[in-house]
Amino acid sequence: MDHSNCSHSGHGEAVAGDDGRYDLVPAGYDGPVYTCPMHPQVRQPKMGSCPICGMGLELESAAMVDDGPNPELVDFTRRFWVGAILTLPLLVLTMGPYVGWPGVREIFGERATLWIELVLGTPVVLWSGWPFLERGWNSFRTWNLNMFSLIGMGVLAAWIFSVVAVLAPDIFPDGFRDPEGHVGVYFEAAAVIVTLVLLGQVMELRAREGTGKAIRALLDLAAKTARVIRADGTEEEIPLEHVAVGDQLRVRPGDKVPVDGVVLKGRSSIDESMITGEPVPVEKVEGDAVTGATINGTGSLVIEAKRVGSDTMLAQIVEMVAAAQRSRAPIQKYADKVAGMFVPAVIGIAVLAFIAWAIWGPAPALAYALIAAVAVLIIACPCALGLATPMSIMTATGRGAQAGVLIKNAEALERFEKIDTLIVDKTGTLTEGRPRLVAVMPEEGHDEIEVLSLAASLERGSEHPLAEAIVRGAEERGVAMETASEFEAVTGKGVMGTVSGKRVALGNLALLSDLGLEGATLSEKANARRDEGETVMFVIVAGKIAGLISVADPVKETTPAAIKDLHKLGLTIIMATGDNERTAQAVAARLGIDDIRAGVLPADKARLIRELQEGGAKVAMAGDGVNDAPALAQADVGIAMGTGADVAIESAGITLVRGNLDGIVRARKLARATMRNIRQNLFFALIYNASGVPVAAGVLYPFFGILIGPMFAAFAMSASSISVVLNSLRLRSAKL
């Protein structure tokens, strides 16, 4: 792939109000550039996090994607496992007395246990959680408050409070100490928050890594070399990147077309299914355009290169997939909105609590004031908030897998709940994806078996998908076939040969005309079949029409019921296909599809989705081919058929294992159940903490003498976490 056209100019001006301070790419730099999906004005030459929202940066150009593992994913995975290993015994020590293991702290004694908690919790906070502390500090420094502001503030407050409580418990007022003089610590809360947030980040990074896989899968489709014809007539194999516009290239039978070009000499049929999605090869003769990465059939071609490197259609598809994937806003935006309001409110309450205790509190007033303020910051950080979404997603993912629906990330489920428009490909999605013999219609004097036997015998020598359908149909019906001789393929018209001493031809109206025959009497019958979306061929025996053979890509058995169910779930269904208008209309009318777009190319599908999105629609796209990849990436939710191309699966957020449309019905029901479950979890995660903030501030002290203590904090954390886990597990029994 040619990287020379990867321009980095103009990005800084794209965002209103951007003064260029976030663009750190030096002038003349041509290496990889990293940018934020939510804030494209952020650009820098190395990996890192966005200074505005804290999100990890992604590659700006698809051409720069390499095969190596994502260093950030490797780093975060390592930090997560270290955090998890240290947090587990910390939880056992802390939660043991509340789950029926009261003796677990007595083994070491309370004082020694507190020191063990300090030793276990500190590496989790200061090493595993260091990236979040950095992002939290940046958010306060730039006043771009986000989820990391809340995490950093809560974790540090809990850790510092706990360290002081272990090292100098005597400085705390009596209201904060137990009868033995020990102060409650929050190491486990800080460690659990860090570990759960790391889990969420690892899940997000794994999902984003699918972008790179999709792009690499697309790049792998291209030919690696091209056979160039020199001016003196000699031929040479050269790397693809050395091909220049105007070069003459030889495309041998079975080879991939190296670049976009025009046929100069030769005749062949080319499999363009990666572009059109249609299984039937397209005949190519002198003057016809060919597309790079499509597969040549049995003929040899000489082509002139017209578009190379980043100008080819494949390269453009790659960039479309990358741009569409990069433009997605992550699920964290909602948490950031909450944090943007919650952080100032909590800080405000902490300040007010400090002032109130300093003025009206008992002696030592400043000690009470400081501890009340810190307690507000600790209790405000909802530990279970980090658990609310991942727990639901993990449970939903397992439930989806049981039902043949594979979920790539939380974002896909979140978005799918709000979808109101579904765009479906025809071939391989609504239909089976390969032609099948539908009908044999003999003329007077001939019978069905005879006509099919002659046609199948003739087509045995052809590799055309329509020929395969006829031969397979004859085999299924137990019709005997003979060996054909003098076989001849007439490009764009049909085939001819001799079977059992009879001259047999099979083809379209153009072949009929060449043979000097009139098919007018059968045209009505043929057109009626074509209106049903079928391909009709004439069978000619000994110079006379012996009958018609009809081949079609049949609709999947599950499709009609699935379309009805999707309509009931409130979806508008649009069919976008590379097939012709007549066939598309026939299929759409039979299935009750709301709208069709026929003869569309990959860029057209992605553009259609963009137009619908600009009009306010929430769009899902279901497809199975390479040609669908840009549209799958552009859609709010991409749904790939598990029976389709790898690149389609990598570009999609949801994959249907069995490749049937009824899987979308199950996915929709799962999305609704999951998002409802997450909202319930967020309520459980926040309610205990929200109720704890005023208690921590000391509003109950004047009336009841109640101060926040370790018991309440432990209860709040345990109750919220248990509520979230139990509620998430309900998804295992969700009806889909």
Supply the residues annotated as catalytic: 425
Distance between CA atoms of residues 171 and 374, nearest Å: 14
Residues 476 and 464 sit within 8 Å (Cβ to Cβ): no
Token readout for 169 is 């418990």
Token readout for 699 is 């509003």
Token readout for 573 is 């269904």
Distance between CA atoms of residues 478 and 147, nearest Å: 67
Q: Which of 736, 100, 686 is nearest to 345 (CA)?
A: 686
Where do we find the tokens 């976490």? Answer: 721
Residues 670 and 413 sit within 8 Å (Cβ to Cβ): yes
Residues 315 and 260 sit within 8 Å (Cβ to Cβ): no
**Helix axes 710-729 and 662-697, enclosed angle (nearest 10):** 170
What count of Cα atoms within 13 Å lies in the side-chain half-sphere of residue 531? 6
The string of DSSP letters for 139-150 reads HHHHT---HHHH
Determine the Cα angle at 586 with ends 443 and 526, to 5°. 15
Name the pairing type of β-strands 260-266 and 544-552.
Answer: unpaired
Residue 653, SS3?
coil
Q: Which of 574, 569, 676 is nearest to 617 (CA)?
A: 574
Distance between CA atoms of residues 498 and 130, nearest Å: 79
Q: Which of 434, 432, 467 is nearest to 452 (CA)?
A: 467
Residues 134 and 150 sit within 8 Å (Cβ to Cβ): no
Q: What type of residue is 630?
A: P
Distance between CA atoms of residues 577 and 466, nearest Å: 19
Distance between CA atoms of residues 303 and 243, nearest Å: 12
Residue 599 gets the label, from left (phi > 0), alpha (psi -120 to 50) or beta, of: left
Residue 638, SS3?
strand
